[in-house]
Amino acid sequence: MILQQLINGLTLGSTYALTAVGYSMVFGILELVNFSHGSVYMVGAFLTLIFLTSLKLNFFVSFLLSIILTGLLGILIDKVSLYPLRRKNAPKVTALISTIGVSIFLQNLVMLVWGSETKNFPLVINPGAVELMGVKVSFLQMIIFSMCLVIMIGLNTMIQKTRIGKAMRATAQNAEAAKLMGIDINRVIMITFFIGSALASVAGTMVGMYYQTIDPYIGYMAGLKAFAAAVLGGIGVLPGAIIGGLLIGVIETLSAAYINSGYRDAIAFAVLVLMLVIKPSGLLGKQVSKKV
């Protein structure tokens, strides 16, 4: 029973980890919490569904189009709601409020276009399963976890080994110094938003397939939990976001199985609060001293 719940928790946690990476990437570059990220996650799921059901496209084509369009949506969010504020050196809180406004706008736009009712998400992957040591693991669970693992390894390799990855790390460390060294920080920010939003689309689609339903409100709680995962692991630290996402997923699933399913969210956030009281910087975060 425990092993089965751990498998379920790791599957759910993988989707939180993918979404949490978007929070961490944007925070690492801009020192800004992008509260529109949960709504981007929801839009990604809806785009995949619309391409599948309304346009009758192949699943993989629908999935790829959703990833690309959601990535472009992330760039648009930055260009419309954040770039003008950066040019005017507006306070960070102004940009944060702007992302909240974008989140509400996207949620209402989806309800206006596609309605507010829950929609069935077609199961396009063989629902079969394998049994290992008495634990049943579905093919979909294996695909979700494997996809999360491959994406995280690829993303980490890109950040550590490629030219754009080095530019992202330099911008995160000191944007002004990076600009003086010839790095186009606006291009770096644009790529960061594209990658983070694309990962949110992957997570939203996977969750839609896993539960076989989506609605315009799925981004709210998923966004909060992904943000909690990013904070738990150490916001701005990508490996921390992954670990935090997996931990939140496991804690939530075990709480639902052994305590009460109605308290699963409360228990997950209570663990986050307790962890931050013990280690405010998160699991992998480091305290940064600032000169006065």
Note the pLDDT tens digit of each residue in 200-249.
999 999 999 988 999 999 998 888 888 888 888 888 788 888 899 999 99
- Is the pLDDT score of 292 beyond 70? no
**What mean pLDDT comes out for the span 10-32?**
89
Paired strand residues for 214: 119
Answer whether residue 287 is part of any domain.
Answer: no
User: Is 167 domain-assigned?
Assistant: yes
Going by C-alpha positions, the residue among 1, 7, 2 that lies closest to residue 246 is: 7
Longest dimension (CA), the chain: 60
CATH number of the CATH domain containing 252: 1.10.3470
Least confident of 4-8, 150-154, 189-193, 263-267: 263-267
Mean pLDDT of 51-78: 94
For residue 151, being part of any structural domain is answered with yes
Q: Is residue 283 part of a domain?
A: no
Tell me what pLDDT residue 128 has: 77
CA distance 83 to 165: 21
For residue 35, being part of any structural domain is answered with yes
Q: Is 277 exposed, middle or buried (0-12, 13-18, 19+ CB in 10 A)?
A: exposed
Q: Is the pLDDT of residue 127 over 70?
A: no
What pLDDT digit, counting tens, does each position of 139-178 carry? 888 888 898 889 888 988 998 899 999 999 898 888 889 9
Residue 138's domain comprises 2-278
pTM: 0.90
Residue 290 lies inside a defined structural domain of this protein? no
- Asked if pLDDT for residue 290 goes beyond 60, the answer is no
In a domain, 222, yes or no: yes
Q: How many domains does the chain have?
A: 1
Asked if the structure places residue 139 within a domain, the reply is: yes
